[in-house]
Structure 1
Amino acid sequence: MSESQTGRAGAPRTGNRPQAGRPVQRPSQRTAPARAGQRQGLVRPAPKAKTRKARLVVSRLDPWSVLKLAFLLSVALGIVAVVASIVLWVVLDLTGIFDRVNTLLGDIGGSSVSSFDIRQIASMRQVVSFTTILSLVNIVLITALSMLAAVLYNICASLVGGVGVTLTDD
């Protein structure tokens, strides 16, 4: 035999290569013998992970951070209020509610109120101006009161220890 058909020391090779004339067969699957009381083929479920918990105490709020956050949120609230007032005025105008109110007030008041027009009192410009002024006042009040609340929270937290929060990992 040549060296390609034999191993290093002249012994015949017993690798994965099939011999000529024999069909290729799959290697047999060997399974470990079953232990007593254990079924073959069942998979053991993974153990459940323990839920991690962290207990934290909010002992201090930075008044400057509270001021900035409250200012930004109150500005956003003011913008929402102005846009909502514009949308509401347009919807009331397009659905004819202003005309119905004018007719109702004319019927109730008689001839003295027949020339009354609610659009003169509540025009879009006046409604938006009023909402903008109210939003600016709200911005100042919300910002000042939230900073005052943060300072009061810090004083109370120094006396009683703050608010406890438990965070869990689901």
Structure 2
Amino acid sequence: MARRDVTLKRIAPLSAFRVGLAFSLIGLVAWLLALCLVWFGMDMAGVWDSLNSLIGDVGGGITITFGMVLSIGALFGAIMAVLMTILAPLLAVIYNAVVDLFGGFVLRLTDY
């Protein structure tokens, strides 16, 4: 059984950007699917009809629709995806700076 230690000393910011972008887009799709499932589950339970009648009783002219909830959810998800994509290379730069001071991750690889 061969064993070898490898130290991760640098992460390329462009590589971190690409991975962050991929994960952000996958997370955005998962967020929108979850939002749709929650909407339809609450719609089957009658929550939205009750909420819309409550808003109408208090004098509000707004009705909560699927399009409104999906639009707000998509906007929130897109903002979070952009922020996560921007943070990925920034964290890679911070990691590279810290590694220069303290050293990197040591990974122990073994063959079976």
Same fold (TM over 0.5): yes
Q: CA deviation at 1:101?
A: 4.6
CA offsets per residue over residues 38-60 of structure 1, 9 Å max, x none?
xxxxxxxxxxxxx3222110000
Question: Which of residues 88, 100, 105 is equivalent to 1:158?
Answer: 100
Establish whether residue 58 from structure 1 lines up as the match of residue 8 from structure 2: yes
For 2:85 and 2:20, the matched residues in 1 are separated by 5
Q: CA deviation at 1:76?
A: 0.9
For 2:14 and 2:92, the matched residues in 1 are separated by 9
For 1:97 and 1:165, the matched residues in 2 are separated by 51
CA offsets per residue over residues 105-128 of structure 1, 9 Å max, x none?
59xxxxx53x769x81x3111111
**Which residue is equivalent to 1:92?**
42
Query: How many percent of aligned residue pairs carry the same amino acid?
Result: 26
Q: 1:150 to 1:139 in 2, by over 3 A?
A: same
Q: 1:126 to 1:102 in 2, by over 3 A?
A: closer
For 2:48 and 2:77, the matched residues in 1 are separated by 25
Q: TM-score, normalised by structure 2?
A: 0.84
Q: Which amino acid aligns with 2:107?
A: V
CA offsets per residue over residues 19-78 of structure 1, 9 Å max, x none?
xxxxxxxxxxxxxxxxxxxxxxxxxxxxxxxx3222110000011010011011101101
Q: 1:148 to 1:54 in 2, by over 3 A?
A: same
- Map 1:11-26; keep pairs closer than 5 Å: none
1:56 match: secondary structure: strand
Q: Which amino acid aligns with 1:138?
A: M
**Which residue is equivalent to 2:68?**
126
Q: Which amino acid aligns with 1:157?
A: V
Establish whether residue 74 from structure 1 lines up as the match of residue 24 from structure 2: yes
Would you say how many aligned residue pairs link Structure 1 and Structure 2? 111
Q: CA deviation at 1:82?
A: 1.1
**Which residue is equivalent to 1:18?**
none
Structure 1: tracts of 5 or more residues without a match: 1-50, 107-111
Q: TM-score, normalised by structure 1?
A: 0.58
**Which residue is equivalent to 1:46?**
none
- Structure whose CA Rg is larger: 1
Does 1 or 2 have the higher relative contact order (CA < 8 Å, sep 6+)? Answer: 2
Structure 2: tracts of 5 or more residues without a match: none
